[in-house]
Homo-oligomer: A and B are copies of this chain.
Amino acid sequence: MARPRKFVESDVVSSASEVFAVHGLAAATLDDLVRATGLGKQSLYNAFGGKRELFLRALSEDREEAARAVSEALGHDDASALEQIRGHMLRMAIEFSSSDRRVSLTTRALVESTGEDDPLSAATKAGIEQLAGVYAQCLEHARADGDLPEDANVQSLAVYFVAVTRGMELLGRAGVGRGVLTAVALDALRVLHKPQS
Chain A residues engaging chain B, CB cutoff 8 angstroms: 24, 26-27, 99, 101, 103, 107-108, 110-112, 114-116, 121, 124-125, 128, 153, 155-157, 159-160, 162-168, 170-171, 173-176, 180, 183-184, 186-188, 190-191, 193, 195-197
In the bound complex, what is the Cα–Cα distance between A6 and B180 (angstroms)?
47
For A121, the chain B residues whose CB sits under 8 A away are 174-175
| Copies of the protein in its oligomer | 2
Question: CB-nearest residue of chain B relative to A109?
Answer: B174
For A188, the chain B residues whose CB sits under 8 A away are 160, 163-164, 191
Question: CB-nearest residue of chain B relative to A121?
Answer: B175
| Pair A108/B110 contact, Cβ less than 8 Å | no
| Pair A170/B166 contact, Cβ less than 8 Å | yes
In the bound complex, what is the Cα–Cα distance between A108 and B125 (angstroms)?
19
| Pair B175/A171 contact, Cβ less than 8 Å | no
| Pair B167/A128 contact, Cβ less than 8 Å | no
| Pair B166/A183 contact, Cβ less than 8 Å | no
Name the distance in Å between A163's Cβ and chain B's nearest Cβ.
3
For A108, the chain B residues whose CB sits under 8 A away are 111
| Pair B27/A112 contact, Cβ less than 8 Å | yes
In the bound complex, what is the Cα–Cα distance between A193 and B193 (angstroms)?
10
